Homo-oligomer: A and B are copies of this chain.
């Protein structure tokens, strides 16, 4: 099975471009919580997600985190190959949220083909625009939304991703997704629990009233 056919642009590449990608790409697996890419120090290559789930986030000087976006099966991680473009002047970290299998495309191979191939360059444009849209959504959230709205939306989104209303997640991890200290998360979760929206127990959060959580998001 050639996973490179997951690339929507695959059929528009020349046979020699396809060969170059096939020859250079390699399969890698990462355990949950493994770091795949760390800032600008490494230009690891592009990751094509075959299974599992990745989290891309940014870290403040004093170690606080906020999630920028998630990547799922058939998504491509561009910024782990930031050296393919001079104008990418920011660092992100990419971590496996579940055991994850990826196809790694070396940066130099991808860059060389992109410089010649309008289809691959335009595909790359679309991928970047899609991540840009994610980050613009995040700006909207952190600037204009209150924390109860953001937390309610996060819980509903996690339940949708995991396909369950019982989430196994710590308050600290939620804080790293949302860019807030753990205590702030705990205080709001306790408030939600007091209102009967969720039930808290050791290491889990059970959603009791999805409708009211959704109304908090839209308030």
Contacts and interface: CB of A to CB of B under 8 A. Distances in A.
Interface of A: 58, 60-62, 64, 66, 85-90, 114-118, 121-122, 124-133, 135-140, 142-144, 179
Contacts of A85: 125-126, 129
A8 to B, nearest CB: 11
Say what secondary structure dominates the interface of chain A: helix
Max chain B C-beta neighbours (<10 A), residue from A89, A114, A132, A138: A132
Contacts of A124: 121, 125
A217 B155 CA distance: 35
Given A58-B140, A121-B125, A139-B142, 7 more contacts: A64-B143, A66-B143, A87-B132, A88-B133, A89-B136, A90-B133, A114-B125
A135 B135 contact: yes
Nearest to A118: B118
Nearest to A82: B129
A64 B143 CA distance: 10
A58 B130 CA distance: 17
Contacts of A115: 118, 122
Contact of A88 (B64, B114, B117, B129): B129
Nearest to A144: B60
Contact of A136 (B90, B142, B143): B90
A94 B157 CA distance: 32
